[in-house]
């Protein structure tokens, strides 16, 4: 799939922001006053910038409010409601904490749950797509939630929690990559099922319908990423998991080092999210002779 | 809106005969023409005379080579457009309700005034039947020429989709696939019409008819080209043996 920068930034940043909100509203750390202002400000900046970026890939962003109407059937619509609901509910926690040094304990759990549910709704936009077998699997929501929870713990300064959570995220990421590599083959969709021509012999794409490119090819048959996928996986894993984990575990706590760990994690998470899109194979590529011949 | 109807009154769709299609792309041209001049935003082209032209099409013709274990390879031309699926995954993902499947005839349409151009429906379609218009930035797809098939202003023979009307070989047929007595349903039953990617669970309405097996002896002129005399005689025999000796 085409790795659109606006979607990669949106899903990564808003995931981190909602993860941080979950920790703050639960009282990890139990901040009030100026410190709460900075923490909640960072969470709102991440989630808000992400949501604004998400409108950049729309053909008609001026009609974006219509996306709230189909929550009964559409995960994208549910995500929109979840995001707005989270921003309101977390705001009800943040305003008293910042301005009255008062923490609203009763709202903490619902706010945190809604923040994580929003991340789940984001992941379901991709999980529901059967035509991209790599995404159509339980590992997708688990991976998105692990990203948000581990990143949120790191941003919230919960070192004793963040270190093991980073390792858990790393294991889930490896599982998602390993199992994902086999999923197109396991899906059973091939050039033979796509064309129904298998009974006549081996099927090979002979000629595409047009000499140039088209929307389908640029949007869904992106292949650039796969050439360097292994190298990028190693970089992504190193920056997202290994480097921040080493900083947390092996080095004494210092604000500059913590900032380095966070920046490294964010850079690694962006690389991994880029791969999430660039490596995903859409079955329409079969019609264009991608992924080989059908027997 | 974006929930799918339980049932539809009719199931209008196309039956495409892969045995007859010659790959002339007339259906592509007719489709582009009709749908640029009529319903909805015109199907745009970008940089049409430049180095890198792109444009939106609702119908495209692929070509595949099928090689049997014994015998020569066969070329199969393969037109592909929206299959108006019974369980259309493109409809349920739509966040705005712009995509919908009609209860009366099962046609899947886009209300372009509600489309935000997010592209999620095109991702959800396994067949590549939806394309974002490069100029209008709304999702375009086959309408089954909904503005022709019910259009009383047109002569009756023109009340079929433009691709069907124009096909010079009759490889495309239009009708109600929900009615087992319709001509299209009968041809599907007789010829073993099949679904594309049945494992995707989309239950397409459109069906494809397989290419018929080729006749054993299709080469009528070949035997006439056999050498008349297996062994040369006279001057040619002398030349042949002399050249052999030279080694």
Q: Is-contact B59 B27, C-beta < 8 A? A: yes
Nearest to B131 among A63, A130, A215 (CB): A215
* Per-residue confidence band for B213, with pLDDT thresholds at 50, 70 and 90: confident
Backbone conformation region of residue B67, classed left if phi is above 0, alpha if psi is from -120 to 50, else beta: beta
Distance from CA of A153 to the nearest CA of B (A): 31
Q: Which pLDDT belongs to residue B124?
A: 97
Mean pLDDT of A212-230: 81
Q: Which pLDDT belongs to residue A295?
A: 47
Tell me the residues of chain A between 274 and 293 that have a Cβ less than 8 Å away from chain B.
Answer: 282-284, 287-288
Distance from CA of B130 to the nearest CA of A (A): 8
Q: What is the mean pLDDT of chain B?
A: 92
* B200 inside 8 A of chain A by CB: yes
Q: Residue A293: is its pLDDT beyond 60?
A: no
CB contact under 8 A, A66 and B116: yes
More confident site: A258 or B232: A258
Partners of A204 in the beta sheet?
B65
Q: Which of the 8 DSSP states describes residue B223? A: G
Q: Residue A204: is its pLDDT beyond 90?
A: yes
Choice among A126-135, A167-176, A192-201 with the minimum mean pLDDT: A192-201
Q: Element (H or E) spanning B99, and its range?
A: strand B99-101
pTM of the model: 0.90
Q: Which pLDDT belongs to residue A252?
A: 84
Mean pLDDT of B231-239: 84
φ, ψ dihedrals at A97, nearest 5°: -65, -40
Q: Element (H or E) spanning B191, and its range?
A: helix B183-191
Q: Is-contact A202 A293, C-beta < 8 A? A: yes
d(CA B113, CA B237): 83
* Per-residue confidence band for A226, with pLDDT thresholds at 50, 70 and 90: low
Give chain A as a DSSP string.
----HHHHHHHHHHHHHHHHHHHHHTTSS---HHHHHHHHHHHHHHHHHHHHHHGGG-S-GGGGGGGGTTTTT-HHHHHHHHHHHHHHHHHHHHHHHHHSS---HHHHHHHHHHHHHHHHHHHHHHHT-TTSTTTSSTHHHHHHHHHHHHHHHHHTT-HHHHHHHHHHHHHHHHHHHHHHHHHHHHH---HHHHHS-GGGSEEEEEE-S-SS--HHHHHH---HHHHTHHHHHHHHHIIIIIHHHHHHHHS---HHHHHHHHHHHHHHHHHHHHHHHHTPPPGGGGGGTTT--B-
Nearest to B123 among A64, A129, A199 (CB): A129
Task: Return the residue of B nearest to A195 by Cα.
Answer: B196
Q: Which of the 8 DSSP states describes residue B214? A: P
Q: pLDDT by residue (tens digit) across A69-81?
A: 999 999 999 999 9
Q: Which residues of B touch A75 (CB under 8 A)?
A: 93
CB contact under 8 A, B95 and A69: yes
CB contact under 8 A, B128 and A199: no
Task: Return the residue of A nearest to B72 by Cα.
Answer: A201
Mean pLDDT of A143-156: 97
Nearest to A129 among B3, B52, B124 (CB): B124
CB contact under 8 A, B116 and A60: yes
Tell me the residues of chain B between 139 and 168 that have a Cβ less than 8 Å away from chain A.
Answer: none
Q: Which pLDDT belongs to residue B230?
A: 72
Helix, strand or coil for residue B188? helix
d(CA A32, CA A104): 11
Distance from CA of B3 to the nearest CA of A (A): 6
Q: Which residues of B touch A196 (CB under 8 A)?
A: 194-196, 208, 210
Mean pLDDT of B220-237: 77
Choice among A37-41, A221-225, B61-65 with the minimum mean pLDDT: A221-225
Q: Is-contact A24 A31, C-beta < 8 A? A: yes
* Per-residue confidence band for B217, with pLDDT thresholds at 50, 70 and 90: low
**If you compute the radius of gyration of chain B from its CA atoms, what whole number of angstroms results?**
25
* Per-residue confidence band for A224, with pLDDT thresholds at 50, 70 and 90: low
Tell me the residues of chain B between 9 and 68 that have a Cβ less than 8 Å away from chain A.
Answer: 18, 25, 28, 52-57, 60-68
* A77 inside 8 A of chain B by CB: yes
* A65 inside 8 A of chain B by CB: no
Mean pLDDT of A30-51: 94
Q: Is-contact A111 A18, C-beta < 8 A? A: no
Q: Which residues of A touch B54 (CB under 8 A)?
A: 212-215
d(CA A278, CA B6): 36
Is the CA virtual torsion A57, A60, A61, A66 positive or negative? negative
pLDDT over 70, % of chain B: 97
Name the token pair of A163: 């270190």
pLDDT over 90, % of chain A: 80
Interface size, chain A vs chain B, as Cβ–Cβ contacts under 8 Å: 196
What residues contact residue B69 under an 8 Å CB cut-off, 6+ apart?
A201
């Amino acid at each position: 799939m085409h790795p659109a920068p606006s979607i990669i930034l949106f899903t990564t940043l808003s995931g981190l922001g909602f993860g941080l909100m979950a920790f703050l509203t639960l009282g990890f750390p139990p901040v009030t006053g100026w410190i709460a202002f900075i923490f909640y400000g960072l969470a709102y900046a991440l989630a808000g910038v992400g949501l604004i970026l998400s409108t950049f890939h729309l053909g008609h962003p001026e009609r974006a409010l219509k996306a709230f109407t189909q929550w009964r059937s559409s995960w994208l619509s549910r995500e929109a409601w979840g995001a707005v609901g989270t921003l309101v509910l977390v705001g009800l926690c943040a305003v008293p904490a910042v301005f009255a040094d008062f923490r609203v304990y009763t709202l903490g759990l619902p706010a945190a749950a809604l923040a994580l549910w929003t991340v789940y709704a984001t992941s379901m936009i991709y999980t529901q797509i059967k035509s991209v077998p790599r995404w159509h699997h339980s590992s997708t929501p688990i991976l998105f939630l692990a990203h948000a929870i581990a990143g949120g713990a790191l941003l919230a300064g919960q070192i004793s929690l963040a270190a093991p959570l980073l390792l858990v995220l790393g294991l889930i990421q490896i599982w998602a990559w390993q199992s994902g590599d086999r999923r197109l083959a396991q899906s059973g969709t091939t050039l033979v099922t796509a064309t129904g021509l298998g009974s006549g012999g081996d099927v090979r794409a002979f000629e595409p319908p047009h000499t140039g490119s088209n929307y389908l090819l640029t949007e869904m048959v992106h292949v650039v990423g796969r050439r360097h996928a292994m190298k990028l996986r190693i970089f992504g894993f190193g920056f997202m998991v290994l480097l921040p984990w080493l900083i947390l575990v092996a080095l004494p706590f210092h604000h500059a080092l913590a900032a380095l760990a966070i920046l490294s994690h964010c850079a690694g998470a962006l690389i991994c999210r880029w791969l999430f899109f660039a490596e995903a194979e859409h079955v329409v590529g079969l019609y264009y002779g991608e992924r080989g011949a059908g027997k | 809106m974006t929930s799918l109807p339980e049932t539809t009154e009719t199931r209008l769709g196309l039956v495409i005969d892969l045995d007859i299609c010659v790959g002339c792309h007339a259906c592509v041209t007719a489709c582009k023409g009709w749908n640029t001049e009529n319903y909805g935003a015109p199907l745009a082209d970008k940089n049409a005379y430049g180095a890198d032209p792109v444009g939106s099409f609702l119908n495209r013709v692929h070509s595949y080579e099928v090689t049997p274990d014994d015998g020569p390879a066969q070329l199969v031309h393969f037109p592909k457009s929206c299959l108006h699926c019974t369980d259309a995954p493109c409809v349920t993902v739509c966040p705005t309700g712009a995509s919908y499947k009609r209860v009366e005839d099962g046609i899947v349409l886009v209300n372009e005034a509600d489309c935000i151009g997010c592209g999620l429906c095109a991702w959800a379609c396994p067949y590549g039947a939806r394309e974002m218009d490069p100029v209008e930035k709304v999702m375009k797809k086959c309408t089954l020429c909904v503005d022709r098939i019910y259009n009383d202003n047109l002569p009756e023979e023109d009340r079929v989709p433009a691709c069907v009307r124009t096909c010079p070989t009759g490889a495309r047929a239009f009708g109600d696939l929900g009615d087992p007595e319709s001509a299209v349903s009968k041809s599907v039953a007789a010829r073993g019409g099949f679904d594309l990617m049945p494992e995707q669970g989309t239950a397409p309405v459109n069906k494809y008819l397989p290419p018929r097996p080729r006749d054993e002896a299709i080469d009528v002129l070949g035997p006439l080209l056999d050498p008349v005399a297996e062994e040369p005689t006279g001057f040619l025999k002398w030349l042949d043996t002399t050249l052999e000796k030279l080694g």
